[in-house]
Each structure stands twice: as C-alpha cells, then as structure tokens.
C-alpha cells in the first residue's frame, strides 16, 4: 500500500501501516544523530526537558549539510539507525512516534516499537541530495555546537519512505530476506 500522510496524523495511522508500505510524508520532523541523543539522555537524567516535543514526534537520523544554490540543505541522507539503538527504547517509551533511518534495528528497539505502537521508516541511503528536495524549511533548535549534527526542526513535503518495522513487529528486513531465501 501507499499512503500520503502528514506527521500530525501519523500516530492515528500507524496501526494500519505494515512493513513494506510506502509513505509519502509531509509535515514537521526533527533531525538527531548519536551525539544529540547522548545529550538528550543527559538532559533526561538531570530531570530537564528535551529541546523538542517528544510526544508523537518523528526523529530523522540525519546530519544535513549546509544548503546551496537556493536549497535549505545540501544533502540530507539517513544515518545508520542501529547507532541510536541504545537510546530508542527510552525515547519511544516517552512518546516518540516514529524514527527514520537506514538499516536494521535491534530486538530491544523492535520490542519498544511494538510496546508503544510506533514505527520505523527507512529512507533511501545514498540519495541525500535528492531527499534534500523534500525539505522546505530548517531551523536549528538545539546543540548548535554540533554543526551538521545539531538538532533541527524541518518541514518536509512528499518525503518518500518505506515502513521498515511496523507497530505489530512486522520487519521488512526479515520478511524481505525470507522472500529471497532459497532452500538448499
């Protein structure tokens, strides 16, 4: 299936999404990579608020490069998501609605996705310059000293994604391999 969704309706639609579905996403997302996630945990451990509203938010594991030729960012491809696996379960338990990255996730993350009715989207790796065309606005909202890895609020339009892990635990990385496995 293919869905055109706004980030504001994503949580309500998540139970319908299945691994392998395509989603064309528009709305507000936030970028954060491992350095920002470490700082999130420092803030949480100190009882402080995060610099973004976590409830139903979408975090894109990316570090966009500076814009050029009239674009708000240069390249903005996904980072390997497993680098955030140590952080994801806690953020999901605190209300994170979805994550965007590339590559497989560990079992603790999959369990947290199911437990919280969330999902994990895969973005196309190696296509950062093409993805940048979907980004309409960018604003650094935290950790500016991290440069391209600072936390940014972005407005995206028609951002192409694939549901990699759905809210029931359906996992495209497992089902995709199984579909091509041959018996000896």
pLDDT digits (tens, 9 = 90+) for 114-160: 999 999 999 987 778 888 899 999 999 999 999 999 999 999 999 99
Question: Does residue 184 register a pLDDT over 60?
Answer: no
- Cα distance between residue 15 and residue 119, in whole Å: 9
pLDDT given for residue 51 in this prediction:
97
- Cα distance between residue 110 and residue 130, in whole Å: 29
Question: Does residue 178 register a pLDDT over 80?
Answer: no
If phi > 0 it is left, if psi is from -120 to 50 it is alpha, else beta; for residue 143 that is: left
pLDDT tens-digit map of 82-125: 999 999 999 999 999 999 999 999 999 999 999 999 999 999 87
Q: What pTM value is reported for the model?
A: 0.94
Q: Is the dihedral of CA 152, 172, 88, 97 positive or negative?
A: positive
Question: Does residue 15 register a pLDDT over 60?
Answer: yes
């Amino acid at each position: 299936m293919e869905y055109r969704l706004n980030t504001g309706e994503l949580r309500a639609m998540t139970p319908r999404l299945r691994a392998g579905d395509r989603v064309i996403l528009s709305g507000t997302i936030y970028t954060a990579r491992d350095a920002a996630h470490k700082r999130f945990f420092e803030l949480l451990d100190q009882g402080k608020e995060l610099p973004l509203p976590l409830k139903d938010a979408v975090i894109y594991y990316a570090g966009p490069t500076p814009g050029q030729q009239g674009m708000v960012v240069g390249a903005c491809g996904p980072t390997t998501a497993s680098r955030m696996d140590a952080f994801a379960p806690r953020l999901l338990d605190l209300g994170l609605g979805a994550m965007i990255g590339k590559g497989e996730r560990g079992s603790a993350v999959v369990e947290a996705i199911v437990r919280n009715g969330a999902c994990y989207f895969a973005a196309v790796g190696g296509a950062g310059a093409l993805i940048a065309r979907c980004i309409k606005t960018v604003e650094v909202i935290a950790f500016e000293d991290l440069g391209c890895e600072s936390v940014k609020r972005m407005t995206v339009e028609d951002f192409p994604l694939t549901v990699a892990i759905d809210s029931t635990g359906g996992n495209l990385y497992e089902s995709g391999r199984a579909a091509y496995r041959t018996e000896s």
